[in-house]
Structure 1
Amino acid sequence: MTTATLAVRDSATMLRRNLRHIQRYPSLTINLVGQPILFLILFTFVFGGTMGDGLPGSGGGREAYLAYITPAILVMAVAGVATGTSISVATDMTEGVVARFKTMAIARGSVLTGHVLGAMIQTLFVVVVTTAAAIALGYRPDADLLGWLGALAVLAMLGFAVTWLAVMFGVTSKSVETASNWPLLLVLLPFLGSGFVPTDSMPTGLRWFAEYQPFTPVIETLRAFLEGTPVGNNGIQAVAWCAGFALLGYLRARKSFAVTRS
């Protein structure tokens, strides 16, 4: 077999391993799905009436606010998967599994690749369930087929980026507890962006941060695809942020993993 063929085979083996872990511990997946659905219900039925009436250019009410926050909830759902990925990688790093893999004739990067592929499958599942929940609550996007494909591409791009960041956190953390804390920043950042209220309504300092932090262009790009409106410069910024995150996570995780294996 060629080196590429061996790498694909070993990565597929590691992917099956991670999928079995996900299957054996369904509570984590249930939590990852339950959190965004809980946020949808909370913000729609508790705050939706008042917040929806304050949205400019909308009809007001809960349906308007549900349409506004759903892209942010989807982004938070994608970021939430990073927590489980970081924990899973850190567990491998701290419990001696990597040391065992070190003695085996397997492709060098297949362990991390398996985690990434498993996380992407889990991300797709969480996104589908969260979208279905939003639609069940009354969300009615104006997107056509291309809009839905664009939205899926944005979520996949974000998922790939935050997954590599999560892998980096898992590889570099000294304990599972530390690895579980870092991804929480990714889940909280949408609250400090345009996800739940327009940035124009924020105080000057907070508005500046909200407009230039990485999740705002991602949310605005996703919102544009789902609403059938022009994407504008937000799309370019979203691609740039996601590419930067993915590259940073990949390079740092690869370097730290190589050191651990040596």
Structure 2
Amino acid sequence: MTTLVTATSTTARPRPVADVLTMLRRSLLRAVRYPGLTVFLVAGPLVMLLLFVYVFGGAFGAGVMPGVAPGAEGRAAYLEYITPTLLVITVVGGATSVATSAAMDAAGGIMARFKTMAIAPGSVLSGQVLGFLVQALAALVLVIGAAFAMGYRPGAGALDWLALLGLFALLGLALNWLCVAMGLNSRSVESASNAPMILLLLPFLGSGFVPVDTMPAAVRWFAEYQPFTPVIETARGLLAGGAGLEGAVAAQAVGWCVVLGVAGYAWARSLYRRERRL
């Protein structure tokens, strides 16, 4: 009997890496079964890319790039300016989707069931975070492919692309943990889908679509010091091959990602440990 109990306890022991991979697989399978969230990741940035370049780009491009004439030249200039912004928005969109997914699991009692199983506690949330990160990175490939098809030609080298991938992975992890916490903290799936909307608005209130020096003083102050402006500027500099990229701005981008990620992780773990109050 002792041998049997010992063997059972051994086999029931959590395996953190294997459990995370299992939950990652579950998250990716869910994306296949519920393609609406995945389509949203790609469709939103693509629609904005087409709209802002082909409708507003001719005029906006002349405003963001001195000496550029309105029309075709302006559209080409604005395509170069806005593409890094839409890549960041793609990552943000993936994070907002994970809030809905986490709320669905919590409201449906699936997370409560996972708590009773012999699995690593952190694997349940980590699997969702990594699953949506994979989806966001795949969506990035599609968005930048569309930008290439429209004539975008970045000057980034191999190291710049590698640094850009690292930046987006770090940003995705940070925002995913933050949005998981928002989803677990929401009272319903509907409210969870609305909670992260502020993250989608922040790129519009930064340097994503127009230079901050064109804004009124108060708005400009906020735009300069909010998290997404240094992230967008770092992505823009890396895609330009490092031209105009300041080390201080890149450090701010990484710093914001770390702060948001640590805060989101701590908040999400705290919410997961306590019983959900309906």
TM-score band by shorter chain is over 0.9
How far did 1:67 drift? 0.3
Structure-2 change in CA distance of 1:217 and 1:56 (3 Å): same
Answering whether residue 171 of structure 2 is matched by residue 158 of structure 1, we say yes
Amino acid at match of 2:275: T
Query: What is the CA–CA distance in structure 2 between the aligned matches of 1:224 and 1:57, rounded to whole Å?
Result: 18
Taking the TM superposition and a 5 Å limit, the aligned residue runs for 1:141-152 are 141-152=154-165
Q: What TM-score comes out, normalization by structure 2 length?
A: 0.90
* Alignment partner, residue 34 of structure 2: 25
* Alignment partner, residue 243 of structure 1: 258
SS of the residue corresponding to residue 260 of structure 1 reads coil
Structure-2 change in CA distance of 1:148 and 1:94 (3 Å): same
Query: What is the CA–CA distance in structure 1 between the aligned matches of 2:13 and 2:198, rounded to whole Å?
Result: 36
Answering whether residue 99 of structure 2 is matched by residue 86 of structure 1, we say yes
Answering whether residue 83 of structure 2 is matched by residue 70 of structure 1, we say yes
RCO (CA 8 Å, sep 6+): is it higher in 1 or 2? 1
SS of the residue corresponding to residue 47 of structure 2 reads helix
Relative to structure 2, which stretch is displaced further, 148-157 or 208-217?
148-157
Answering whether residue 145 of structure 2 is matched by residue 132 of structure 1, we say yes
How far did 1:82 drift? 1.2
Query: What is the CA–CA distance in structure 2 between the aligned matches of 1:42 and 1:21, rounded to whole Å?
Result: 30
Answering whether residue 273 of structure 2 is matched by residue 258 of structure 1, we say yes
Query: What is the CA–CA distance in structure 1 between the aligned matches of 2:68 and 2:80, rounded to whole Å?
Result: 11
Larger Rg over CA atoms = 2
Answering whether residue 245 of structure 2 is matched by residue 231 of structure 1, we say yes
How far did 1:102 drift? 2.1
Query: What is the CA–CA distance in structure 1 between the aligned matches of 2:28 and 2:150, rounded to whole Å?
Result: 30
* Alignment partner, residue 183 of structure 1: 196
Answering whether residue 189 of structure 2 is matched by residue 209 of structure 1, we say no
Answering whether residue 113 of structure 2 is matched by residue 100 of structure 1, we say yes
How far did 1:28 drift? 1.6
Structure-2 change in CA distance of 1:58 and 1:30 (3 Å): farther
Amino acid at match of 1:184: M
The answer as to whether partners of 1:40 and 1:70 remain within 8 angstroms in 2 is yes
Structure-2 change in CA distance of 1:2 and 1:243 (3 Å): farther
Fraction of identical pairs, as percent: 52
SS of the residue corresponding to residue 111 of structure 2 reads helix
Query: What is the CA–CA distance in structure 1 between the aligned matches of 2:149 and 2:82, rounded to whole Å?
Result: 15
Q: Any idea what the Cα deviations from partners look like across 1:13-54, whole Å, max 9, x if unmatched?
A: 111111111010112211210100000000000000001111
Q: Any idea what the Cα deviations from partners look like across 1:174-222, whole Å, max 9, x if unmatched?
A: 1111111122111111000001100011111111111111100000000
How far did 1:240 drift? 0.8
How far did 1:108 drift? 1.1
Moved over 4 A (4+): 1-5
Q: Of residues 60, 63, 68 in structure 2, which corresponds to 1:51?
A: 60
Amino acid at match of 1:39: M
* Alignment partner, residue 197 of structure 1: 210
The answer as to whether partners of 2:41 and 2:90 remain within 8 angstroms in 1 is yes
The Cα RMSD (Å) is 1.7
Query: What is the CA–CA distance in structure 2 between the aligned matches of 1:167 and 1:217, rounded to whole Å?
Result: 23
The answer as to whether partners of 1:13 and 1:114 remain within 8 angstroms in 2 is yes
The answer as to whether partners of 1:171 and 1:256 remain within 8 angstroms in 2 is yes
Answering whether residue 124 of structure 2 is matched by residue 111 of structure 1, we say yes
Relative to structure 2, which stretch is displaced further, 250-259 or 55-64?
55-64
SS of the residue corresponding to residue 38 of structure 1 reads helix
Q: What TM-score comes out, normalization by structure 1 length?
A: 0.95
Amino acid at match of 1:225: L
Extract unaligned runs of 5+ from structure 1.
none
Query: What is the CA–CA distance in structure 1 between the aligned matches of 2:85 and 2:223, rounded to whole Å?
Result: 13
Amino acid at match of 2:115: K
